[in-house]
């Protein structure tokens, strides 16, 4: 059991939610800039919330936050601990509406960030012991307006989430923050879709934003893969130095 597991089990919900939110700004420095991506008049979407660190900070800058989280326990946790301007949708974002199987990693509280939707069809014997049936929703079906920021962290399902949000993206042209892991789902398809929608990617490294056009994301992830397995707590404590890049900011090209 990790230190994060222990803290998750022992700390009161609100205390743990705040601790995660504060720690996550160190683990993911781009979160410190959330106030520059959304205005106080706009709506922000947090897709794949975990314990709600993005929702926590979004709710301090956006008029409204809609949080989409399929894990029933996490959705309930964020509902209990969030600010009044946060609406939690306990569903899995996708490009179709219906039901899907969500795999929950073993290990207890604190490990849920690795949960993922299982592909339709095929055999997944290694995952069958820890799955739950969840409802899926297209983001375009949500009752939202003036969307300024969409953050997506869905463990390889990002392409389907984006396709299900095409209406929102074409209408509001929000800033997008997307976690992309080529080892889980080919990055090329996601990048090509966003290029076709006239978005340009950027990533934060050592306090500066760099264009994704000049960066070999897939090659970098393959080379730096060991860093991705160092664990959440170690990444928070070490903070600086070489970073494993998987969180990409996409800005509409008109800006």
Q: What is the pLDDT of residue 126?
A: 53
Q: Which residues contact 64 (CB under 8 A, 6 or more apart)?
A: 43, 44, 85, 86, 87, 144
In the CATH scheme, what architecture does the domain 3-252 have?
A: 3-Layer(aba) Sandwich (3.40)
Q: Show pLDDT as tens, one digit a residue, over the chain (255 residues).
A: 455 565 666 679 999 999 999 999 988 999 999 999 999 999 999 999 999 999 999 999 999 999 999 999 999 999 999 999 999 999 999 999 999 999 887 655 554 556 678 775 444 445 556 889 999 999 999 999 999 999 999 989 999 999 999 999 999 999 999 999 999 899 999 999 999 999 999 999 989 999 999 999 999 999 988 766 655 545 544 454 557 899 999 999 965
CB 61 within 8 A of CB 34: yes
Write the DSSP assignment of the chain as a string of letters.
--HHHHHHHHS-HHHHHHHHHHHHHHHSGGGGGGGGTS-TTSEEEEES-TT-HHHHHHTTTSSEEEEE---HHHHHHHHHHS-TTEEEE-SEE-SS-EEEEEE--SS-TT-GGG-EEPPSSS--GGGGGGEEEEEEE-GGGS---SEEEEEE--TT-HHHHHHTTHHHHHHH--EEEEE--TTTS-HHHHHHHHHHTTEEEEEEETTEEEEGGGS-HHHHHHHTHHHHTS-HHHHHHH-SSS----EEEEEETT-
Tokens of residue 58, six digits: 């979004």
Q: What is the pLDDT of residue 27?
A: 87
Q: What is the pLDDT of residue 1?
A: 47
Q: What is the pLDDT of residue 181?
A: 92
Q: What is the pLDDT of residue 122?
A: 45
Q: What is the pLDDT of residue 202?
A: 98
């Amino acid at each position: 059991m990790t230190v994060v597991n222990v803290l998750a089990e022992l700390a009161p919900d609100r205390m743990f939610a705040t601790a995660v939110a504060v720690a996550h700004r160190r683990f993911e420095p781009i979160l410190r800039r959330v106030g520059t991506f959304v205005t106080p008049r706009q709506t922000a979407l947090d897709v794949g919330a975990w314990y709600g660190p993005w929702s926590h900070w979004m709710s301090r800058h956006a008029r409204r936050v809609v949080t989409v989280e399929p894990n029933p326990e996490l959705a309930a946790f964020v509902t209990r601990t969030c600010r009044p301007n946060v609406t939690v949708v306990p569903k899995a974002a996708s490009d179709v509406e219906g039901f899907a199987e969500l795999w929950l990693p073993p290990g207890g509280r604190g490990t849920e960030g690795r949960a993922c939707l299982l592909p339709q069809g095929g055999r997944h014997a290694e995952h069958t012991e820890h799955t739950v049936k969840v409802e899926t929703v297209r983001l375009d079906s949500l009752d939202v307006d003036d969307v300024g920021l969409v953050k997506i962290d869905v463990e390889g399902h990002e392409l389907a989430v984006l396709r299900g949000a095409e209406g929102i993206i074409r209408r509001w042209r929000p800033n997008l923050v997307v976690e992309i892991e080529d080892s889980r789902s080919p990055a090329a398809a996601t990048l090509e879709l966003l290029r076709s929608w006239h978005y340009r990617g950027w990533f934060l490294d050592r306090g500066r934003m760099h264009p994704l056009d000049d960066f070999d994301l897939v090659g970098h992830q393959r080379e730096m893969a060991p860093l991705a397995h160092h664990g959440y707590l170690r990444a928070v404590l070490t903070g600086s130095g070489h970073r494993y890049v998987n969180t990409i900011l996409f800005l509409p090209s008109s800006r």
